Amino acid sequence: MSKIKITGKELRAIGYPEGPVISVAMAVMQKSYKHEAKEDVMELLQKILAAPIEYENDAVLGLIAEKLIPKKEIDGETISLNQNGIQFNVFGQEHIEEGAMHQMYQAAKLPISVAGALMPDAHSGYGLPIGGVLATDNVVIPYGVGVDIGCRMCLSIFDINPKDLIDKESFFARELSEATLFGSGAQFDRAANHDIMDHELFFQLPLLKNLHGRAWKQLGTSGSGNHFAEFGIIEVKEQDAVLGVPAGNYVGFLTHSGSRALGANIANHYTKIAISKRRLPQDAKNLAWLSLAEQEGIEYWNAMNLAGDYASACHHVIHKKIAKQLGRKPVKMVENHHNFAWKEMWEGREVIVHRKGATPAGKNVLGIIPGSMTADGFIVKGKGESASVNSASHGAGRKMSRTRAIASVTDKQFKDELKKFGIKLLGGGLDESPFAYKDINEVMQSQTALVDVVGRFTPKIVKMDGAKHKSWSKKNRNELVGE
């Protein structure tokens, strides 16, 4: 196999700034990743660029990350954690790893924490655990929202006989492949049109202005990792007044993706600022916050909301394409964010509720909780349970890191599992195999007090990133794409 060769021109083309980082990145990749596929290496370099903080402690990739993180004096206030944190409820504790529990205990000790909860699909992340819910007092934590701001579920329900998914499988598979692009750096040559790209913030904030062109080319793309687009069978056993769909079986089109490079850059930029302004203990530094009474906090809040609207627009572009090709308008569309922060009322006062990998589940609020590529997903209606801060899980949740899944699941096991459930998979890798996820039925059983199930989604044709998935580090990195 020939050795990889990367040029400075190629690095600048994907956004690397002029300076020492160019030569360092070239040297690291040519020494430690010289036999990897070039497209995989370029994808990794884009991830480091988008969120260098996540790689700063990596023995190899940290050499690149440190050149991307501004070397400025941390002169912010020194903050101690409270000795006793706020009380928070844990749902499905028997399914939750110790690392996620520790991260939630850290978040509960922040002096700005008001209320919290941990969902049954929870696992470790950066800052707030994935599946963590935290209400704060007039501050927002960028890593309490996550890197993929506004990561979102969107479901279109079509009045089409589900038997068509079998009889016309090649048609649905083709439309699925043509509706969107997968891969962390994926861009369209010709950008779609949507009003979101005319938002005034794109022309007011320098950070967003520099991201506008790339965001436009990524409008309607779907990313990598656990992001997907899939056709499946919708079962509505009885009509629900909120869902408003008559009982019966339908064809469903379900997508999961977020705000792409736009959200990642916003998260990375404002996390650096937050860390510089609030000096927390080392293992809690990613919980640094910005006040909504300060300029940087207001900027992040506005940029976060724009990224959320952009994520929604991405889904609508994809769903519009599918509806056009099917020649049908959906009888219902259900959608929800799950990496976001909201202003909500809590015990008579306004708070900021962070839901990082958690679904809003206020009274009669609709949402979608997917399983895996072989496991059913659920259309749910929130019960407005205060014990969970009006939240529910955002999926089944991982039980294996990507590295462990790649190492422990064989191609044969993967293929046999797909065959067992009658799944046609387009793309995807061992890191996203069904074995990497918790049992969605056990997760749902742990949150019966939080949501009512009003519909069921059974996947049949699944599209994910088709790139080769590898372990990028010699350490067991739990690369949580979609965080």
pLDDT in tens, the chain (483 residues): 567 888 888 888 888 887 788 888 988 888 888 888 888 889 899 999 988 888 888 888 989 988 888 755 445 668 889 988 999 999 999 889 899 999 999 999 999 999 999 999 999 988 899 999 999 999 999 999 999 999 999 999 999 999 999 999 999 999 999 999 998 889 999 888 899 999 999 999 999 999 999 999 999 999 888 999 999 999 999 999 999 999 999 999 999 999 999 999 999 999 999 999 999 998 899 999 999 999 999 999 999 999 999 999 999 999 999 999 999 999 999 999 999 999 999 999 999 999 999 999 999 999 999 999 999 999 999 999 999 999 999 999 998 888 889 999 999 999 999 999 999 999 988 999 999 999 999 999 999 999 999 999 999 999 999 755 443 333 333 333 455
Residue 423 lies in a domain: yes
Total H helices, total E strands in the chain: 15, 19
* Distances in whole angstroms, Cα of residue 228 to Cα of each of 172, 220, 351: 15, 12, 32
Strands 248-257 vs 391-393: parallel, antiparallel or unpaired: unpaired
- Quick one: 46 and 155 in the same domain? no
Residue 38 belongs to what domain range? 8-68
Q: Tokens 């600048």: give the residue.
A: 12
Q: What are phi and psi of 18, to 5 degrees?
A: -65, 140
Q: Is 410 exposed, middle or buried (0-12, 13-18, 19+ CB in 10 A)?
A: exposed
- Quick one: 152 and 62 in the same domain? no
Cα separation, 346 vs 352, in Å, equals: 9
pTM of the shown model: 0.83
- Quick one: 219 and 322 in the same domain? yes
Residue 275 lies in a domain: no
Residue 294 lies in a domain: no
Backbone dihedral region for residue 39 (phi beyond 0: left; psi -120 to 50: alpha; all else: beta): alpha
What is the distance between the terminal CA atoms of the chain, rounded to a whole angstrom? 34
Strands 377-382 vs 130-136: parallel, antiparallel or unpaired: unpaired
Give residue 71's pLDDT. Answer: 59
**Last residue of one domain, picked from the residues 34, 50, 68:** 68
Strands 391-393 vs 358-360: parallel, antiparallel or unpaired: antiparallel
- Quick one: 47 and 149 in the same domain? no
- Quick one: 439 and 328 in the same domain? yes
121 close to 90: Cβ distance less than 8 angstroms: no
Residue 80 lies in a domain: no
Cα separation, 416 vs 413, in Å, equals: 5
Cα separation, 315 vs 249, in Å, equals: 23
- Quick one: 223 and 363 in the same domain? yes
- DSSP states along 404-436: HHHHH--HHHHHHHHHHHT-EEES--GGGSGGG
Give residue 251's pLDDT. Answer: 98
Cα separation, 95 vs 97, in Å, equals: 7
Beta bridge partners of 452: 381
Give the count of domains, the chain: 2
Give residue 266's pLDDT. Answer: 97
Strands 77-78 vs 278-279: parallel, antiparallel or unpaired: parallel
Q: What are phi and psi of 425, to 5 degrees?
A: -105, 130
- Quick one: 257 and 370 in the same domain? yes
Cα separation, 186 vs 338, in Å, equals: 22
- Quick one: 371 and 253 in the same domain? yes
* Distances in whole angstroms, Cα of residue 116 to Cα of each of 119, 135, 478: 10, 6, 24
Residue 320 lies in a domain: yes
The two tokens of residue 52 are: 């260098």
Give residue 463's pLDDT. Answer: 96
Residue 85 lies in a domain: no
- Quick one: 154 and 37 in the same domain? no
- Quick one: 39 and 154 in the same domain? no
**Last residue of one domain, picked from the residues 26, 48, 68:** 68
Q: Where are the beta strands (DSSP E) in 66-177?
A: 77-78, 88-90, 113-123, 130-136, 139-140, 152-158
Q: For residue 443, how far is the Cα from the chain centroid?
A: 19
Cα separation, 218 vs 315, in Å, equals: 12
| CATH code assigned at 236 | 3.90.1860.10
Residue 348 lies in a domain: no
- Quick one: 363 and 255 in the same domain? yes
Nearest to 330 by CA among 254, 394, 260, 228: 254
Residue 158 lies in a domain: yes
DSSP state, residue 100? H
